[in-house]
Amino acid sequence: MEDWSDCLDVAVQIARRAGQVVQSAVKQEKRVSSKSTPTDLVTEADHQVEELIISTLREKYPSHRFIGEESSAAGVKCELTDAPTWIIDPIDGTCNFVHSFPMVAVSIGFAVRKELELGVIYHCFDGTLYTARKGHGAFCNGVRLQVSKEKDVSKALILTEIGAKRDPATLDIFSGNMKKLLSAPTHGVRIIGSSTLALCHIASGAAEAYYQYGLHCWDIAAAAVIIREAGGYVIDTTGGPLDLMSRRVVAAGTREIADYMVKQLQPINYGRDDTDPDGLA
Ligand code: IPD
């Protein structure tokens, strides 16, 4: 049975290299365009970094498959098979990157037989490195991570992200969900503009729960391994098992808080990553 430890080492090296490219790109002028909606941004750096990550991994592992944010946006089918598959977000927090707002990450996940095996997330502004391999724990700069054990939602800090859809009906549901959680009352709700880094804060115990409608498989893949290995839960917003392609997630340090979130949330519909690449259905 393969333990994929060499893949983790390789992913760490590539994430650091990619992170350095992002760091220097932040200081330069950016050419920005939009994808599914005017708020779904992409820059030349996103393409450049994805190309760097995929070409380096492909050279090392020619038989492996790849799912990348920008390749998918360009029309490559987003398909998770039983084959070893790398799931890549070259720049998570592209809007932050455009504004030089310091919450930007490179995220590299890896799945085999549709099971997530490892995750690497590199914070491009401060160099923090989150890593995990299934069954071997989660780490931040080499120090073991542990989720919050808080069960009482009135003592919870909740994180979320807004997603690309901004039509009035979607925003009404989004604000309704926020209102419910704020008036629970929880300690607060935060939005930092990077799903992967927000999820890392669940793994480190800095916040108790995360939920989002509208994120993608490349936003969840690496982080799901890191949170689970830190002792946390990553599930579907209906309470069932995580469906990587469903574009929705609840993550929490304890099952009690995860269950509470599931009961509160009203869904926002996004098309699936694997069957609806435009994703706004
Ligand atoms: C996005 C960011 C954003 C979240 C979106 C993600 P990107 O990733 O994490 O905060 O709301 O759902 O897709 O486009 O910057 O890689």
Please state, in angstroms and rounded to a whole number, the distance separating the CA atoms of residues 217 and 30.
Answer: 26
Instruction: Name the residue of 42, 108, 122, 219 whose CB sits within 8 Å of the most ligand 1 atoms, as the mutation to test its pocket.
Output: 219
The helix or strand, by DSSP H or E, that contains position 195, with its residue range, turns out to be: helix 195-203
Q: How confident is the model at residue 194 (pLDDT cuts 50, 70, 90)?
A: very high
Q: How far is CA 230 from CA 31, 49, 275, in A?
A: 38, 28, 31
For ligand 1, atom 15, which residue shows the shortest CA distance? 93
Query: pTM (2 decimals)?
Result: 0.96
Span 145-165, average pLDDT:
97
Cα-to-centroid distance, 1 and ligand 1 (Å):
35
> Are the C-beta atoms of residues 73 and 90 closer than 8 Å to each other?
no
CB neighbour burial string for 35-58, b if at least 16 within 10 angstroms, e if fewer: bbeeebbbbebbbbbbebbbeebe
d(CA 134, CA 45): 30
Which pLDDT score is estimated for 276?
Answer: 86
Atom of ligand 1 nearest to the CA of 46: 16
pLDDT digits (tens, 9 = 90+) for 134-148: 999 999 999 999 999
Q: Does position 62 have pLDDT exceeding 90, yes or no?
A: yes
Share of the chain above pLDDT 90, in %: 91
Distance in Å, CA 195 to ligand 1 centroid: 6
Burial status of residue 82 (CB atoms within 10 A of its CB: 0-12, 13-18, 19 or more): exposed
Query: Cα separation of 119 and 229, whole Å?
Result: 10
Active site residues: 69, 89, 91-92, 94, 219
Ligand 1 atom closest to residue 191's alpha carbon, by position in its atom list? 10
C-alpha–C-alpha distance, residues 24 and 127, integer Å: 13
- Write out pLDDT tens, residues 40-59: 899 999 999 999 999 999 99
Give the pLDDT score at 260. Answer: 97
CA distances from 223 to 19, 88, 201, 202, 263 (A): 17, 11, 10, 9, 23
Is residue 1 pLDDT above 80, yes or no? Answer: no
pLDDT confidence bin for 280, thresholds 50/70/90:
low
Asked if residues 233 and 251 have their Cβ atoms less than 8 Å apart, the reply is: yes
Residues with CB under 6 A from ligand 1: 69, 89, 91-94, 161-163, 193-195, 214-216, 219
Instruction: Give dist(CA 7, CA 56) in Å, integer.
Output: 12
Kindly give the number of the ligand 1 atom that is closest to the alpha carbon of 216: 13
219 Cα to the center of ligand 1, angstroms: 7
Looking at the predicted structure, is the pLDDT value of residue 277 above 90? no
pLDDT at 279: 65
